[in-house]
Amino acid sequence: MAKNDILGESLWDAYSNKVTTLMNNPQHQGEITEDEAAGHGNKLIVADFGAESCGDAVRLYWEIDPESDKIVNSKFKSFGCGTAIASSDVMTELCIGKTVQEAVKITNIDVEMALRDDPETPAVPPQKMHCSVMAYDVIKKAAGLYMGVDSESFEEEIIVCECARVSLGTLQEVIKLNDLTTVAQITDYTKAGGFCKSCIKPGGHEAREHYLVYIHADTRKQMDEEKMATAADAGATGNFEAMTLVQQIKAIDAVIDDSVRQFLVMDGGDMEVIDIKNSDEYVDVYIRYLGACSSCSSSATGTLYAIESTLKEKLSNNIRVLPL
C-alpha cells in the first residue's frame, strides 16, 4: 500500500517509520483456531473490541497454557485504519510470552512507545492515539474472559485521559501539590490532554465523562475554600503561631487572595510567599514581588505596610513581612 493510499502527504511525517512499516506488513495478523490451541493442550481466548469514536475494531486471539497462564501465541484481526493495524500488531507482540496477569498491565502508552523510532518522538499524531487505547482495551477484555471477571475490574481508578492513562485522583493531587493555575500546566506535569485532546474540554475528538477544564476549576475552588477555612480558623482561635508551617502558608495565602492580591493585579503586579520563619518574638513572612510590583517605589513602603497590616489584623500581630 503506497503512503498516499493511507493518508495525506501533510500528515505523513507525523507517523514513525515503524508505524508505516507495520501498516503495510503486520507480523502477527491472522487467527488461531480452537483445534490449533487444543492440539497444543492450550486454551483459546478470542476478544473483540470496537471504538465508537472512529468505527475501528480489533479481534485478539490468545493461546494460553492453562497450567502457567502464559500466552504462548497471539494473533489479531483489525477492522479499521492503518494506525489501528500497526497498534494491534505491536500490542499482540507485547502479549506473547507474558502471563495473562502480566499482559493486563500493558498500557496504551507501552504500545505507543513501542511504535516510536526514538523515545522522544511520538509515533502517531495526537488524533490517532485512540488506536493504541483500543489495543489496551482489548487486552483487558481478553484477560477478563480468561479470568472470568468483568474487564472493568482491572481499572482501580477513574481514568480521565485515556491516551496518557491519567486518573482523576492523580490530576487533583498534582493540581494541589504544585498549585497549578492553568490547564496547560496540568498537561505539562501529567501529559493529560497532550495527545488526542478530547479530555481537555467538551467538543473534542470524542465525548468524555470528565474534562480537565472542569477538574481544574473544581479543584481550585476546593483549594480556595480550604485556604479560607484555615484563615477563618486562625482568626477565630487567635492561635496562628501554633499552626504547622503548611497551615500558616495556607492561612497567609487565603488572606492575600481575599484582601490584597486584587489590588496588586490591578496595577500589573503580584506577590508570592517564599518562606516563613518563626522565632520567639516574630513570625517573619518572606515575600517576592512580581510584575510591576518588583520595580514599584512603594513596594518597600506603602504596599509593604498594607500587606503587613492586613496579615496582622487577620492572623497575628507578631507577623513581619520582609521582601526579598
- Catalytic residue set: 54, 131
Which strands make up the sheet holding 43-50, listed edge to edge?
A: 43-50, 57-65, 70-79
Q: Residue holding cell 510584575?
A: 291
**Could you give phi then psi for residue 30, rounded to 5 degrees?**
150, -160
Radius of gyration of the chain (CA): 28
| Farthest CA pair distance, the chain | 88
165: Cβ contacts below 8 Å, ≥ 6 apart: 107, 108, 109, 136, 159
Query: What is the Cα–Cα distance from 125 to 134, expressed in whole angstroms?
Result: 16
Query: For residue 63, what are the β-bridge partners?
Result: 44, 73
Query: What is the Cα–Cα distance from 77 to 50, expressed in whole angstroms?
Result: 12
Among residues 114, 161, 158, 101, which one has the least CA distance to residue 133?
Answer: 161
